[in-house]
Structure 1
Amino acid sequence: MEILDNIRLDVIWNYRELFIRGVGVTIALTVISYTIGIILGLIFGIGKMSKRKIFYYPSKLYIDFFRGTPLLVQILLIHLAVIPTIFGKSLGFFVSGILALSLNCGAYTAEIIRAGIQSLEKGQMEAARSLGMPHGMAMKHIILPQALRRMVPPLGNELIALLKDSSLVTVIAANDILFAAKVVQGATFRPWEPYIFAAILYLCLTWGVTKIVTYVEKRYSTSYVPKKKRKLSHR
C-alpha cells in the first residue's frame, strides 16, 4: 500500500509523447513482421513438405535454426553482424528489428502451416489431382482454404507472442514501449511508474489482439456454425 501511495502519475504524463511513439513503433514492428512472417512461413512450410531435396533441406535448415536459437541472439546477430557485413553499415533498429522478427516469425508459422496442411486427409489432394487439377491449383483452391481453418488459433497465438517478443528489439535502441520506459526510469530514477505503465500498454495491446483472434476463430474455425441456416424446401 505504501508503494501505491507513492505512485506519481505526472511522471507518465510528462513523458506521454515518448510512450505514444513507443506504441506506434511496437505496432508497426509487429504488423510488418507478422505479414512478412506469414509469407515466409507459407514458402518454407510448403518447402519442408516437398520431396525435392533442393527445397526440403534449405527449408528445414531455416526452420531449425530460427526455432532453435534465442530471438535475442538473432536480433543482435542481424543488427551487429549480418547487415553491417552486407551493406557496410547499420541500417537502423527498424530494419534490423523487422528482419529478425520476420525471420523468427516465419520459422514458427512455417511449422504451423505445414502441420495444418498435413492434418488434412491425403485423399483431398489425390481427389483434386484425379480431376486433372495441377498440384499448385489444388493446393490453392482445395488444400489451403481447408487447412486455414485449422491454422487460425495457432497463427493467432503466434501474433500475440510476436507482439510481446517485439520488446526485445529495445536492446538495439529501438524506441518502442520498453525503450520509453527505460528512458523515463533513467531520467526520473523512478522505476515503478514507467515499467508498470509499459506493462499496462502491452496488456492492452495483447488484449485487443486476443479479441480480434477470438472473433476470427469463431468466424473461420472448423467448429463455426453459421447463425442463419438455409431452410430445406419441402417437396
Structure 2
Amino acid sequence: MNFSFLSQYYPFYLSGAVVTLFVSLVVVVFGTLIGVLVGMLKLSRFKVVRFIASCYIELFRGTPMFVQILIGFVLLYNKVPMPKLYIMNAELALVMAGVIPMAMNSGAYVAEIVRGGIQAVSKGQTEAAYSLGLRPGLTMRFVVLPQAIRNILPALGNEFVTIIKDSSLLSAIGVAELVFGATRVQTITFLGIEPLYVVTGIYFVLTFTTSRLLILLEKKLSKGYAK
C-alpha cells in the first residue's frame, strides 16, 4: 500500500469532508422540518390532507434518491438565480441542486418516524392536556411533540448517519464532496484502491463520531424519565 500521496493531496479530502458535513447538516435540518410537517399532516383528520401526505411519502420512498438527485440537478441547477458562492471547492448553486432533493427524500422517511413517534405517545397525555384547557395546537406543541422527539431520537440519529453516507451520491453531479475528491486523487496519482481506503476511513470517523454524540444526547434527554 502506498499512502505517500496524502502529504500532497490531503486538501482534497479536507475540503471534501467540509462539504460533506455541510450537506449533511443542511439536509438533516430541512429534512426534519419537512418530516415533522408531513408527519403531522399524515395524522390529519381530513382525508384529502392525509392522501396528499401519503402520496408525498410514497413517491420519495418508492424511487431511488440517486434518480431524484439527477432530476433535481436538471430542474434546479442554473435555473434558479443564486449568487456565485463556493463552499470550499463546491459551487453553492450546484450543492443546493443536490441538497434540495436529498432533503425532500429525507423528509419522507422522517415523516414516518415522526408519525410513529406521535402515535406512541399515550393518549392519556393528550386527554390530560385538554382537561387543563390547552387547545389541540398547543397540546401538540408543548405536550405531544417533546415526548415524541425523545422517542424518535434514535431513529433520527440513524437518518443523520445515513445522510452522511448518501451525500456521496452528489459526486455524480459534480459536487466536490469526499468521493469526488477521492476520484480526483485517483485520476492524478493513478492509484486505484488507496484513495478509496482513505475516504472510507474518513466516512467511518464521521459516522462513528456522530453516532456516539447522538447516544450521549439520547442519554441526556432520557434523564428524569421513568424506564
- Answer yes or no: same fold by TM over 0.5: yes
Q: Is 1:111 paired with 2:112? A: yes
- Asked whether the 8 Å contact 1:128–1:138 carries over to 2, the reply is yes
* Match among 7, 17, 28 for residue 13 of structure 1: 7
Partner of 1:193: 194
- Structure 1 gaps of 5+ residues are 1-6, 227-235
- Other-structure match for 2:42: 48
Judge conservation of contact 2:77–2:94 (CA < 8 Å) in 1: no
- Please, what is the CA RMSD of the aligned residues? 2.0
CA distance in 1, matches of 2:60, 2:37: 15
C-alpha deviations, 1:86-144, integer Å up to 9, x for none? 64999832011210211111111111110000012223222322322111100011111
Report the CA distance shift for 1:86/1:158 in structure 2 as closer, same or farther (over 3 A): same
- Unaligned 5+ segments in structure 2 are 83-90
Partner of 1:61: 55
Matches within 5 A, 1:196-207: 196-207=197-208
TM-score by length of 1: 0.86
Tell me the amino acid that sits aligned with residue 103 of structure 1: M
Query: Separation in 2 of the partners of 1:91 and 1:217?
Result: 33
- For 2:68 and 2:163, the matched residues in 1 are separated by 14
Amino acid at match of 2:76: I
Name the SS of the counterpart of 2:182 in structure 1.
helix
CA distance in 2, matches of 1:85, 1:21: 23
Distance 1:198 1:55 in 2: 43
Aligned AA for 2:61?
A: R
1:1-235 matched pairs, under 5 angstroms? 7-80=1-74, 82-83=75-76, 87=80, 92-221=93-222, 224=223
CA distance in structure 2 between the partners assigned to 1:84 and 1:19 by the alignment? 25
Summarize the Cα distance change of 1:173–1:44 in structure 2 as closer, same or farther, 3 Å threshold.
same
Counterpart amino acid of 1:204?
A: V
Structure with bigger gyration radius: 1
How much identity, in percent, do the aligned residues show? 35
Name the count of aligned residue pairs: 217
Tell me how far 1:84 sits from its aligned partner: 5.6
Q: CA deviation at 1:46?
A: 0.1
Name the TM-score, length of structure 2 as normaliser.
0.89
